[in-house]
Chains A and B, each alone.
Chain A
Amino acid sequence: MLMVATGNKAVATAVKDARPVVVAAYPITPQTEIVEQIANFVESGEMEARYIPVESEHSSMAACIGAAATGVRAFTATSSHGLVYMCEMLHWAAGARLPIVMANANRALGPGWNIWAEHSDSLSMRDTGWLQVYVGSVQEAYDATLMAFRIAEHDDVLLPVMVNLDGFTLTHIMQQMETVELGDFLPPCTVPHAIDTANPGGYGTLTPPTEHFKFRWDIERAMRDSVGVIRETEAEFARRFGRQYAPVEEYRCEDADVVIVAMGTLGKEAEVAADVLRNEGIRAGSARIRWFRPFPAIDFGDADVVVIDRDYSFGSGGILAHELKAAGMAPYSVIAGIGGQEVTYDDIAGFVRNRIPGGEYWFGVSD
């Protein structure tokens, strides 16, 4: 079905179509519309799920954990302060190997209060064992949310997935999108280690130093296996529904002398910047990182790399820039879009023109 929707509405619609058994959530700007919409779907009978209006985000993740532990599909959505408030439970969800799906509306953290887009919230949860995908359009928010359930619940993965969409610049903008007839794209959720009172066991029992690392290694093994599951899921989605995605969306990169790397809506803006630069005779391309965990294998040959971070690791550098450095690149690291700072494609084209390989540039500060 064709519709015009916001990013939030797209996520809520995908969740309705995925038919989770439990949704536990707490409102926070700019995610609120997702949980309101789901609560409405449930009230109106369009969705059969139990909606648990918990008293905090720590509890929304805890309730999802309790639900998923019984082997059912569970969903929540949050943003910013809500995400970091549930940090303890994010580790727990991944450690307990529960295929929970969560949407996160990327937003800055206070103080001062700031409700606008930034990636510091989700990137500060980088090492929790969650898969993370960053989307760039309303359609992609819908598609990625659906695929997230299939990937999380895959036997080789059984890890939670966080679908990230930029606060306001995606959660609140209207675009055309098309829903799908899901068919059996999403098989019924099965959790092999679900609680079974006929077959009692201990979960999360005290684990000694001789054993704990084995569970941690299992998480990493699942992360590595998820690379293939993501590829297979995206291919199957394209085969059935005609929309193709990849862990990195490359745009005019084949012959590029310089590649702009970014995530979320800035990654889309970078595509326009590449067109502008090409019109000037600069052979630019854009590579929008969609899957941040597991981090994709990337290689731009001899091209210069300009990376835009909407986040920062204080005392160290841009977080996405670090990933590229770890992959052996010497990117020009641009810090831009913090707390909703406006960044246009012209600004991005400017970053490219003025690039100093290996350097760092804080937009609005450095000049």
Chain B
Amino acid sequence: MAEIPKEEYILRCTSACAGCSSSLVLRYILKAAGPDSVLVVPACCTSVIQGIYPNTAMNIPVYNVAFASAAAVASGMSAAFRSVGKKTNVICYAGDGGTVDIGIQALSGALERGTDFLYICYDNEAYSNTGMQRSGSTPLGAKTTTTPEGKRDAKKDLDRIVQAHNLPYMATACSAYPLDLYKKVQKALAIRGPTFIHILAPCPPGWRYPSEATIEMGKLAVKTGMWVLYEREYGKLSVTGASKGALAKPLPVGEYLTRQGRFKGIDAATIDYVQQSVRDNLARIAREVEGVC
């Protein structure tokens, strides 16, 4: 960890919940990005944790914008900076709702237009800011305040949607592995053009587990293969970090699901279904890595 700078861009006074992983990883993201960066934040928990005007816990310019607009605001900002010869990093930091649901059109447009920016989606698998309603990114079976019996639809596959835009760099990450994320942010920011990172970010009150288990929850997601760490450079896929082991020998998904209150009462058939989809997904990734797809 010696290479990680000591500078802090988030002061220790955010209003995030105890064990909030999306704000923990933001610290590393900003360290990787450095001071010549602007964070564009749509409505989400991150718009709240900064604190209340006239104070801010952020030591970097943060441009808060309307829910659907982050990628489009970044388009204009990046075009303006580049026009006047500035290299300033333009980084969107958006929740899953602001990305896979209301913000997907703006994101797709910005990616297609080759916007020089980094879009980071931290995925806590619900609309946490407004009280844990379902999002398109909520997984099958998860209880939210709008799916009290558990979500009946599967999680939207954001990464394959983004991949279809053929961007130079995209990656997944998980808050339990900040060093892996740190390197990916550095890599993304070194590339001109649109880059994208999708971070699984467990949320204690939303997922209903004790806040001290927040790192463990991220690790379980990766070890069960529910979440896969990878990067795609100019289309070429490579699995990174802990996912290498998980790909060969994943833990049963039950070990992840049964630790979270949101999956309480999930039936065996749903667990089997989830297990099978994880198997299929891991096999698909393995095939692609081996170059046999």
Is there an interface contact between A62 and B59, defined as CB atoms closer than 8 Å? no
The 8 A CB mask of B26-60 against A (1 = contact, 0 = none) is 00000000011110100000011011111110111
Most chain B beta-carbon contacts within 10 A, residue among A63, A68, A74, A204: A63
Is there an interface contact between A211 and B109, defined as CB atoms closer than 8 Å? no
In this complex, how many residues of chain A approach chain B with their Cβ under 8 Å: the count is 42
Q: Is B84 an interface residue (CB 8 A)?
A: yes
Expressed in whole angstroms, the Cα–Cα distance for A358 and B111 within the complex equals 56
Q: Which of B50-72 contact A (CB under 8 A)?
A: 50-56, 58-66, 68-69, 71-72
* Chain A residues closer than 8 Å to B199, beta-carbon distance: none
Q: Is B247 an interface residue (CB 8 A)?
A: no
Expressed in whole angstroms, the Cα–Cα distance for A203 and B82 within the complex equals 21
Expressed in whole angstroms, the Cα–Cα distance for A22 and B84 within the complex equals 11
Stretch at the interface among B73-81, B169-177, B235-243: B73-81
Take A65-B65, A197-B35, A197-B60 as given contacts and tell me if A52 and B50 are in contact as well, using a CB distance cutoff of 8 Å: no
Take A59-B72, A66-B76, A66-B80 as given contacts and tell me if A205 and B50 are in contact as well, using a CB distance cutoff of 8 Å: yes
Q: For residue A93, give the distance in angstroms from its CB to the closest CB of chain B.
A: 10
Take A62-B72, A66-B40, A66-B73 as given contacts and tell me if A21 and B52 are in contact as well, using a CB distance cutoff of 8 Å: no
Expressed in whole angstroms, the Cα–Cα distance for A206 and B79 within the complex equals 27
Is there an interface contact between A202 and B56, defined as CB atoms closer than 8 Å? yes
Q: Which of A229-249 contact B (CB under 8 A)?
A: none
Question: Which of B58, B69, B74, B86 is the one whose CB lies under 8 Å from A58?
Answer: B69
Q: Which residue of B lies closest to A49 (CB)?
A: B83
Is there an interface contact between A200 and B76, defined as CB atoms closer than 8 Å? no
Q: Is B221 an interface residue (CB 8 A)?
A: no
Is there an interface contact between B105 and A50, defined as CB atoms closer than 8 Å? no
Q: Is B166 an interface residue (CB 8 A)?
A: no
Expressed in whole angstroms, the Cα–Cα distance for A58 and B82 within the complex equals 22
Take A21-B84, A70-B80, A202-B53 as given contacts and tell me if A197 and B37 are in contact as well, using a CB distance cutoff of 8 Å: yes
* Chain A residues closer than 8 Å to B62, beta-carbon distance: 200, 202-203, 205
Q: Which of A274-319 contact B (CB under 8 A)?
A: none
Q: For residue A213, give the distance in angstroms from its CB to the closest CB of chain B.
A: 13
* Chain A residues closer than 8 Å to B38, beta-carbon distance: 195, 197
Q: Which residue of A lies closest to B74 (CB)?
A: A66
* Chain A residues closer than 8 Å to B60, beta-carbon distance: 197, 200
Q: Which residue of A lies closest to B90 (CB)?
A: A66
Main SS of chain B's interface residues? mixed
Is there an interface contact between A205 and B53, defined as CB atoms closer than 8 Å? yes
Is there an interface contact between B52 and A72, defined as CB atoms closer than 8 Å? no
Is there an interface contact between B77 and A92, defined as CB atoms closer than 8 Å? no
Task: Please tell me the size bucket of the interface on B.
Answer: 35 or more
Q: For residue B292, give the distance in angstroms from its CB to the closest CB of chain A.
A: 36
* Chain B residues closer than 8 Å to A72, beta-carbon distance: 80, 83-84
Is there an interface contact between B83 and A88, defined as CB atoms closer than 8 Å? no
Q: Which residue of A lies closest to B9 (CB)?
A: A200
Expressed in whole angstroms, the Cα–Cα distance for A200 and B58 within the complex equals 8
Is there an interface contact between A22 and B76, defined as CB atoms closer than 8 Å? yes
Is there an interface contact between A195 and B63, defined as CB atoms closer than 8 Å? yes
Q: Is B249 an interface residue (CB 8 A)?
A: no
The total of Cβ contacts below 8 Å across the A-B interface reads: 162
Most chain B beta-carbon contacts within 10 A, residue among A24, A55, A58, A201: A55
Q: Is A64 an interface residue (CB 8 A)?
A: yes
Is there an interface contact between A205 and B52, defined as CB atoms closer than 8 Å? yes
Is there an interface contact between A206 and B63, defined as CB atoms closer than 8 Å? no
Q: For residue B34, give the distance in angstroms from its CB to the closest CB of chain A.
A: 9
The 8 A CB mask of A11-54 against B (1 = contact, 0 = none) is 00000000001101000000000000000000000000110111
Take A196-B61, A203-B61 as given contacts and tell me if A65 and B76 are in contact as well, using a CB distance cutoff of 8 Å: yes
Is there an interface contact between B63 and A204, defined as CB atoms closer than 8 Å? yes
Expressed in whole angstroms, the Cα–Cα distance for A65 and B79 within the complex equals 12
Q: Is A207 an interface residue (CB 8 A)?
A: yes
* Chain A residues closer than 8 Å to B35, beta-carbon distance: 197-198, 200
Is there an interface contact between A54 and B109, defined as CB atoms closer than 8 Å? yes
* Chain B residues closer than 8 Å to A179, beta-carbon distance: none
Q: Which residue of B lies closest to A212 (CB)?
A: B53
Take A62-B69, A206-B47 as given contacts and tell me if A52 and B75 are in contact as well, using a CB distance cutoff of 8 Å: yes
Q: Is B211 an interface residue (CB 8 A)?
A: no
Q: For residue A84, give the distance in angstroms from its CB to the closest CB of chain B.
A: 15
Q: Is A56 an interface residue (CB 8 A)?
A: yes
Take A52-B76, A207-B53 as given contacts and tell me if A197 and B65 are in contact as well, using a CB distance cutoff of 8 Å: no
* Chain A residues closer than 8 Å to B77, beta-carbon distance: 66-67, 69-70, 195
Q: Is B106 an interface residue (CB 8 A)?
A: yes
Q: For residue A365, give the distance in angstroms from its CB to the closest CB of chain B.
A: 39
The 8 A CB mask of A75-92 against B (1 = contact, 0 = none) is 000000000000011001
Question: Which of A54, A62, A195, A211 is the one whose CB lies under 8 Å from B65?
Answer: A62
Q: Is B113 an interface residue (CB 8 A)?
A: yes
The 8 A CB mask of B178-207 against A (1 = contact, 0 = none) is 000000000000000000000000000000
Is there an interface contact between A66 and B84, defined as CB atoms closer than 8 Å? no
Q: Is B108 an interface residue (CB 8 A)?
A: yes
Take A55-B108, A56-B105, A72-B80 as given contacts and tell me if A66 and B75 are in contact as well, using a CB distance cutoff of 8 Å: yes
| Additional A-B contact list (16), CB under 8 Å, known A65-B76, A66-B78, A206-B50 | A59-B109, A62-B69, A63-B73, A65-B73, A66-B73, A67-B76, A69-B63, A69-B77, A70-B77, A71-B80, A89-B66, A92-B65, A202-B50, A204-B63, A205-B52, A206-B53
Residues of A within 8 A of B (CB): 21-22, 24, 49-50, 52-56, 58-60, 62-72, 74, 88-89, 92, 195-198, 200-208, 211
A-B contact pairs, 7 of them (CB 8 A): A54-B109, A62-B76, A66-B72, A89-B66, A92-B69, A197-B61, A206-B52
Nearest 8 interchain pairs by C-beta: A66-B76, A55-B109, A63-B76, A59-B72, A204-B64, A62-B72, A66-B77, A202-B56
